[in-house]
Chain A
C-alpha cells in the first residue's frame, strides 16, 4: 500500500486462548469424580444432563463425561444456582453449543450437537469449577465445526464485496454533488447531499481507519475519516473543516454556494475517490463484521439520536436508517454460519433487526429529504427515547456476536 497505512484493526481472539486453556486445566484437576463414564443413550443420540445447584457454593454437575461420537443432547437444568446463567460446550475456545438465560425455577432446556471424537469441555461460567472435561470416543470428525467456520469466512468475503460496492456508489453520488455545487445549483446539491450520505453511513465503521501516507496517526490532516465526515462539534482547529458536513453547513445553514463551498466539495470528491482505492485492499475476519455492526449502532446512539450528525440538514434519520442497514448487512453475511453456531442468538438478532426496521419504516416520508422524516426538535422530543431504546434492545444481543463468530 504505497500511499497509506491502516492504523485501526480489530483485535483478534488470540489473547483469550491462554485463559481458556488455564481454566480447562484447573477444571480437570479439581473435579475428578462428579460423573460416571456411562452416557444414557436413546437410539443413536447420547444424552447428558447438566445440573446447576448451590449448596453453599455454585456447582455445575455433568451426568457423564464420556460419550461415543455422534449426536449428543445436553439437557441443562438450573435447580438453585444464582451465579450460573449459561452453559457452553467448548473444544479449545470454540463454542459447539450453549444455553443462556438459565435461572432457578425455569424448566430444563436442551441442545444437541453432533460431536466427533476428541477432548471437549463443559464450561459453566460462575461455577466453583467452571470447566469440566468431556471426552467423545470414536472417530474424529473432520474439524467438526468447519462448516460453520467456512460459512462465516465465506460471509466475510461476501461482505467485502458489499463494502466495496457501497464505496464505489458513494464516489458516483459525491461526484454528482460536486457537479451541482460547481454549477451553483443549490436545490439539486441539497438533494445530492442527502443521496450521498447513506453510502458512508452503511460502512463507516469499516472504513474509518485510514491515514494518508506521510502523516502521523495523530494528525487529523491525514485522517481520511476526519477529512470526509468531521462534524462541527469535534473540529481540530489546526486542520480546519472540510468534508460532508462543511458542505452541509453551506447548503443548509448558509443557504448559499460560495467559492469555498466549491473547493470543499471538490476536496471531498478527491478524498472519497482515494478512499475507494483503499477500501478494496481490506480483508475481513468474521469478528470484524460483528464489531463493525456493533460500531454502527454505537454511532446511532452517540451522534444520530442527538441530532448532532446532521445539525443543519436534519437528515439524521436517513443516517440512522443507513447505520442500521449497514449493521443488518454485516449480520446477514454472518447469518448462514451463525445459525449453525447459535440458532437462538441468530433468531434473537433477526427479530430485533425486524422490529427496528418496522419502527424505522414508520418514519419514512417521501416528501422529506432523503426519504425520512426530518429530525426536528419536535420529532426528536417525541420519538428519540423510543428509537434509542429499540436500538438498545438490538445492541445487546449484537454485542455478543463477535465472541461467537471469533471462536467458531
Chain B
C-alpha cells in the first residue's frame, strides 16, 4: 500500500469519485507483474495509473506485434526519428539488436547497464534519470523507414512494396527538419521522464551509427484504448471516437498477415506533426467549431443526433435554424472533419489513430506553438494517403491547422526472446 502511494497516481475520474482508493491500489499492485490492469477494463472510463505496471517486450507467439500500438495509450509519448550515418549493414544490425535488448530492460523498469561504473575513469552506461521511477507502462516501438531499404545496406530485396514515402498532399506545409527518417522510436509511458529517458538512452546507443533527425514530445494522449474514455485534442474536441477497437478490425486494418513475409504481425506507422492555429481557433464561435468537426463540443455527439458513440448519419437533413448553412443542407457538413474522415465515405477504410497533444512553447510571433502529434497504424500507408488527400483538399479544419511534419515507417513484429527487431532481414 505504501508502495502504491509513493508510485501511484489516480486519474481524474477516480479521484473525483473519491472512493475505493485502497481497493484499487490493491488490485493494481497485485497484477503488476502481468502488465495487465484489469481494473481499467472494468472501470468504464475511470482510470487509475499504476506506475509499477509493465509491458513485456518479447513475443511469446508467432506474428505478435510490438507494444505501443494496441497498448492502451499511455499518458505521455516521446517520438524521435534518426538518419543512419553508417553504410555498414552490421552497424545497423548491431544497433537493432542493442536497441531491442535495451528496450526489454527499459520496459521492465531497469537501467541499460550501470549508472555508476566500476572503474573510476568510466562513463556511466545508463544516464540514470529514471532510477526509482518504475516501469510506468513504458512501450518503445521501433520503425524502419524507406531509407533502410535503399542501396546502402543491401536490404533492397526485403523492401515491402507498401513502404513508400508519403506523396505530397494538398495543404501540406511540411518542413524539411520535421520530415522523414531512416528509423523511428515511439516511447510512451505514464511518466514523462520514463519515456524521455528511454529515448535518450537509445539515442545514445545510436551515436556513431545514426544521427537524430526530429522529435516531438507528446504531453497528453489524444486517443483512447477500448477501456479508456475518449480524450480531447487541443481544440477541445474528443479525438478518436470512432477508432479501431475490435480484434476483427485490427486484423483487417492494422496487422499484416502471413503474406507480408518478414513483416507478418507487423504494421505501418504514419506520423504527422499537425500544428494548430490556437489563437484563431479560440476566437471561432463554438457553433462554427462544431460545424468544422461535425460533432458537438462537450458530448462529442454527431450533429445528426444522439450521443458520442451514435453512428453519424451523413444524409440527415439539418433542422431549421440549427446553424447549418442553409435550409436543406445535411446536419453534418459534407466538408466537416468527421464526414471526410469517416470510413463510410472512404471505401470502408479505417486506420488506427494513436496521437498525442504536443507543445513546443511559443513561436517567433508570440503565439502558442502546439498541436497534434498524429500517429497512425495501418496495413498500407496508402490508406492514410487516400484519406488525407480528401481532408487536405476540402476539410473545413484546414483553416486552423497545418501539417508541418511527416514520416512513414515499417513496424516489424516483436521479436522472440533471444532475437531482435528485424532479425529476419540479416539472415
Contacts and interface: CB of A to CB of B under 8 A. Distances in A.
A79 interface: yes
A393 B207 contact: yes
B347 interface: no
A207 to B, nearest CB: 21
Contacts of B120: 11-16, 406
B40 interface: no
Given A82-B105, A85-B113, A103-B98, A392 B207 contact: yes
Interface in B89-105: 93-94, 97-98, 100-102, 104-105
A399 interface: yes
B101 A20 contact: no
Nearest to B94: A101
Contacts of A406: 119-121
A125 B125 contact: yes
Interface residues of A, number: 47
B409 to A, nearest CB: 20
Contacts of B420: 103-106
Most buried by A among B102, B204, B417, B418: B418
Contacts of B211: 386, 389, 392-393
A125 B116 CA distance: 11
Nearest to B102: A82
A39 interface: no
Given A101-B94, A389-B211, A393-B85, A403 B119 contact: yes
A287 B121 contact: yes
B121 A403 contact: yes
A403 B119 CA distance: 7
Contact of B418 (A80, A389, A393): A80
Contacts of B113: 83, 85, 125-126
Contacts of B101: 78, 81-82, 85, 103-104
B208 interface: yes
A403 B123 CA distance: 8
Given A80-B417, A103-B420, A105-B97, A407 B119 contact: yes
Given A16-B121, A85-B125, A103 B100 contact: yes
A19 B118 CA distance: 6
A281 B303 CA distance: 84
Nearest to B419: A105
Interface string A8-30: 00011111100110010000000
A83 B105 contact: yes
A384 interface: no
A83 B122 contact: no
Nearest to B93: A106
A172 interface: no
Contacts of B419: 104-105
Nearest to A406: B121
Interface in A367-408: 386, 389-390, 392-397, 399-400, 402-403, 406-407
B49 to A, nearest CB: 26
Interface residues of B, number: 33
B123 A400 contact: yes
Interface string B388-427: 0000000000000000000000000001011110010000
Contacts of B114: 125-126
Contacts of B208: 348, 352, 393-394, 396-397
A323 interface: no
B128 to A, nearest CB: 15
A93 interface: yes
Contacts of B80: none
Contacts of B122: 16, 400, 402-403
A400 B85 CA distance: 21
Contact of B121 (A13, A78, A393): A13
Contacts of A85: 98, 101, 112-113, 125
A400 B211 CA distance: 19
The secondary-structure label for the interface of chain B is: loop
Of the listed residues A13, A19, A83, A397, the one surrounded by the most CB atoms of chain B closer than 10 A to its CB is A83
A16 B118 contact: yes
B118 A125 contact: yes
Most chain B CB inside 10 Å of its own CB: which residue of A12, A15, A23, A103: A103
A104 B94 contact: no
Given A12-B120, A106-B94, A125-B125, A396 B207 contact: yes
A386 B177 CA distance: 12
B110 interface: yes
A258 B212 CA distance: 47
B26 interface: no
B177 to A, nearest CB: 8
Nearest to A405: B121
B76 to A, nearest CB: 24
Interface string B206-217: 011001100000
A83 B105 CA distance: 7
Nearest to A106: B97
A352 B211 CA distance: 14
Nearest to B212: A389
A123 B85 CA distance: 32
A34 B97 CA distance: 27
A19 B120 CA distance: 9
Contacts of B105: 82-83
Contacts of B418: 79-80, 104-105
A82 B420 CA distance: 10
A350 to B, nearest CB: 13
A149 to B, nearest CB: 15
A57 B123 CA distance: 25
Nearest to B122: A403
A22 B93 CA distance: 36
Nearest to B423: A105
A85 B114 CA distance: 11
A78 B121 CA distance: 26
A104 B415 CA distance: 10
A103 B208 CA distance: 18
Contacts of B11: none
Nearest to B123: A399
B119 A13 contact: yes
A407 B122 CA distance: 10
A281 to B, nearest CB: 24
A13 B119 CA distance: 7
B117 interface: yes
Contacts of B119: 13, 16, 20, 93, 403, 406-407
25 contacts: A11-B121, A13-B120, A14-B120, A82-B100, A82-B102, A101-B94, A101-B98, A103-B94, A105-B100, A105-B420, A105-B423, A106-B420, A126-B114, A290-B121, A291-B121, A390-B85, A393-B211, A394-B208, A396-B204, A397-B208, A400-B122, A403-B121, A406-B120, A406-B121, A407-B119
Interface of A: 11-16, 19-20, 23, 54, 78-83, 85, 93, 101, 103-106, 123, 125-126, 130, 287, 290-291, 348, 352, 386, 389-390, 392-397, 399-400, 402-403, 406-407
Given A11-B121, A125-B125, A126-B113, 10 more contacts: A82-B101, A83-B113, A85-B98, A85-B113, A101-B98, A106-B420, A399-B123, A400-B123, A403-B117, A406-B121
Q: Which 10 A-B residue pairings sit nearest by Cβ, starting from the closest?
A: A16-B120, A103-B97, A82-B101, A389-B211, A402-B121, A403-B122, A82-B104, A393-B208, A396-B207, A406-B121
